Amino acid sequence: MSRSLQSSRLDSSERRALHNRVQAFYAHLNREHWDQCFAMIDPQLTQQGKVKLAAYAQRLAEFKAVYGLVRPWFTRLSLHLGAKTNRRDSQPFAYVYVIWQDASHAFHMFRERWVKADGAWFTRVVGLVANPHAGVEK
């Protein structure tokens, strides 16, 4: 099998795996399963204590109170499987762009960084912050 074909299959497989993880993250967010969202954060961040579940859950709940459901409309993945981000972090990574619609039908975009660790994809986003002037019309 040619090297480019192997690389293409790997990219396709990784792209599918990452897309599924991103979709699962937003499904958990919409169901308010904060612990499941927390489990999808890069283990380097959670194990070092840089993110605590209680504070993370509170930020997600505040975000969801402003915007309601996050309905992804379009997701674009930019994979960097062989790239080295810097000398201290050599994990494969991806930029994920999610165009989404809130409960008031306004569109927004997330630009996220995901990393691959221990065979799975994890987000590096450690909280969502709501714009105090945005959100669902009451």
Q: Is 22 among the domain residues?
A: yes
For 29, the domain range is 3-123
The pTM for the full model equals 0.85
The CA distance from 60 to 43, in Å, is 18
Q: Is 95 among the domain residues?
A: yes
Pair 103, 136: CB distance under 8 Å: yes
The CA distance from 106 to 134, in Å, is 9
pLDDT of residue 1: 47
The CA distance from 57 to 65, in Å, is 12
What's the number of domains the chain is made of?
1
- The DSSP line for 76-101 is EEEEESS---BTTB---EEEEEEEEE
Pair 124, 45: CB distance under 8 Å: yes
Q: Is 128 among the domain residues?
A: no
**Burial of 31 by CB count in 10 Å (0-12 exposed, 13-18 middle, 19+ buried)?**
exposed
What are 30-78's pLDDT values in tens digits?
Answer: 999 999 999 999 999 999 999 999 999 999 999 999 999 999 999 999 9
Q: Is 89 among the domain residues?
A: yes
**Contacts of range 47-54, beta carbons closer than 8 Å, 24 or more positions apart:** 50/126, 51/126, 51/127
Assign residue 111 the CATH number of its domain: 3.10.450.50
Q: Is 130 among the domain residues?
A: no
Which pLDDT band holds residue 25 (cuts at 50, 70, 90)? very high
